[in-house]
Amino acid sequence: MNFDLTYLLQIAPLLLKGAVVTVQATVLGTLLAAVLGLLMAILTRSRLRIVRYATTAVVLFVRNTPLLIQLFFLFYILPQFGIALPTYLTGVIALGIHYAAYMSEVYRAGITAVPRGQWEAAHALNMPRALVWRRIILPQALPPIIPPLGNYAIAMFKDTPVLATIGILEMLGVALAEANRSYRYYEPLTMVGILFLIFSLFSAVAVRLLEKRYAAR
């Protein structure tokens, strides 16, 4: 079977549309994961034991079950409990929660790296805990962990094809739909692979630049 360049060009606009959905889902998923992950990291340091344990359990659970199953759970089972979310939103939430669990570990490392004396100095200045987090701890904890967080964003990007399984027309979904229509798999799937490679390489370069920028601190 020959690789048909004309056919490829013909389906390229379609695939690029899918690429937009992929990138969108990654960006939204990353934002959600970044916020949720930080929240999880902070809650695992709560003064209340029950909050600490519950959060740790959630993180452990999410990290040790496959993304695909989490996605199916949200998509097929949650509606049975009366929570029916739009498909696209379900996909973003699944990505967000899954990667939040991983990112929370990165946050935790960054937070732990802030010396104890910083907490104590803030305490001695009578700063309330929320203020200590916001103005003293996080500004020191975050810059060094921006590169590893970026790496998780790239990992999430490469995981977006799971969204095709619930019918979201991201890159792979579009390619599969097209392949099923034309019975040609070679060109669409190759193209998807190449697009993933290009995006990932660009993102990796971006993360490298971030690393350089924050390494000096």
Partner 1 sequence: MLPVDIPPSPALRLRGVSKAFGSLTILDKLDLDVAPGERISIIGRSGSGKTTLLRVLMTLEKIDAGSIEVFGRYLGQRPEGGRLVPATPEETRAVRGDIGMVFQQFNLFPHRTAIENVIEAPIHVKKMGSKEARDMGMALLCTVGLADKADHYPRQLSGGQQQRVAIARALAMQPRIILFDEVTSALDPERVDEVLSVIQGLAQESTITMLIVTHEMRFARDVATRTIFMEEGLIVEDDAPAVIFGKPNKARTQSFLQSVLGRGL
Q: What is the contact surface with partner 1 in residues (CB under 8 A)?
A: 115, 117-118, 120-121, 123-128, 131, 135-136, 139-140
Q: How far is the CB of 115 from partner 1 (least distance, A)?
A: 8
- Residue placing its CB nearer to partner 1 in the complex, 116 or 183: 116
Give the DSSP per-residue string, 144-189.
Answer: HHHHHHHHHHHHHHHHGGGGGGGT--SHHHHHHHHHHHHS--HHHH
Closer Cβ to partner 1, 123 or 213, answer by number? 123
Q: Which is nearer to partner 1, 66 or 115 (CB)?
A: 115
Q: Which residues contact 81 (CB under 8 A, 6 or more apart)?
A: none
The nearest distance, CB 139 to partner 1, in angstroms, is: 5
> In the complex, what is the shortest distance from the CB of residue 144 to partner 1, in angstroms, rounded to a whole number?
12
Minimum CB separation from partner 1 for residue 217, in Å? 9
Identity of the residue, 118 or 151, whose beta carbon is nearer to partner 1 in the bound complex: 118
In angstroms, the CA 61 to CA 170 distance is: 27
Burial class (CB in 10 A: 0-12, 13-18, 19+), 67: middle
